[in-house]
Structure 1
Amino acid sequence: MARLTNDFVFLILSIVEEIPEGKVATYGQIAELAGFERNARLVGKVLSRADFYGKYPCHRVVNSKGECAKHWPAQKNLLKAEAVRFTSIGSVDLKNHRWEPE
């Protein structure tokens, strides 16, 4: 189980910083890349406080269904500005926009 330490915060933010424009990752995907597969909620908590650590492209992280954060209505517009497409039900088209790091 991960703990919300500065090391964990900066690990998560360093991964988020790698997501290219026009792509998205899920909270679970970020947790897995960090080596903490079962900590998607903790990733969300880190991202909700990311402004305290600098400027990171947190808008490129969505839930496992491709849904934007309910408390952040600007997220969808930020993604649309990067040419991210949405499905007819309003979720990110993960098939075409999910980030696959190498």
Structure 2
Amino acid sequence: MNDEFKQNVYTLIGAIPKGSVATYGQIAKLAGAPKHARSVGYLLKHLPNDSTLPWHRVINSQGKISFPTGSEKFNAQSFKLQAEGVVLLNGKISLQKYLWR
């Protein structure tokens, strides 16, 4: 994973507007590496604790939060999304309604 990819990923995530979400694969594709969705997840997992990047706006391709349901991280991401007006129904986010385009 090169620095250019990493910088592109961070820039793209920073551009996701409040109330919208993007998928790991979408970010990877826009960053120029369409088969590297897992790399996007890796970069987010290793963000510094004081990062202001809106990591919570990145979800999986099924419209779900990737953390285990009920975990501390799941609850934090769910809370942040709901605070921005993103609705979770049965643990899923409507990509049709909230996907960043």
Alignment TM class, shorter chain as reference: 0.7 to 0.9
The alignment's TM-score, normalised by the length of structure 2, stands at 0.87
Aligned-partner SS, 1:75:
helix
What corresponds to 2:27 in structure 1? 30
Tell me how far apart the structure 2 counterparts of residues 35 and 25 of structure 1 sit (CA, whole Å): 15
What corresponds to 2:95 in structure 1? 94
Q: Which runs of 4+ in 1 moved over 6 A?
A: none
- Residue identity in the other structure for 2:98: H
| Contact 2:21–2:99 (CA under 8 A) maintained in structure 1 | yes
Query: Once the 2 structures are TM-superposed, how far is the Cα of residue 53 of structure 1 from its aligned partner?
Result: 8.0
| Contact 1:27–1:40 (CA under 8 A) maintained in structure 2 | yes
- Residue identity in the other structure for 2:31: A
Unmatched runs of 5 consecutive residues or more in structure 1: none
The alignment's TM-score, normalised by the length of structure 1, stands at 0.86
Q: Deviations over 1:43-74 (max 9, x none)?
A: 10011112268320010000001111315221
Query: Where in structure 2 are the equivalents of 1:1-102 lying within 5 Å?
Result: 3=1, 5-51=2-48, 54-70=51-67, 72-73=73-74, 74-87=76-89, 89-100=90-101
Give the count of matched residue pairs.
96
Residues 53 and 11 (structure 1), Cα distance of their counterparts in 2 relative to 1, 3 Å cut: farther
Q: Equivalent pairs: percent with the same residue? A: 38
Cα RMSD of the aligned pairs, angstroms, is 1.6
Query: Once the 2 structures are TM-superposed, how far is the Cα of residue 9 of structure 1 from its aligned partner?
Result: 1.7
Unmatched runs of 5 consecutive residues or more in structure 2: none
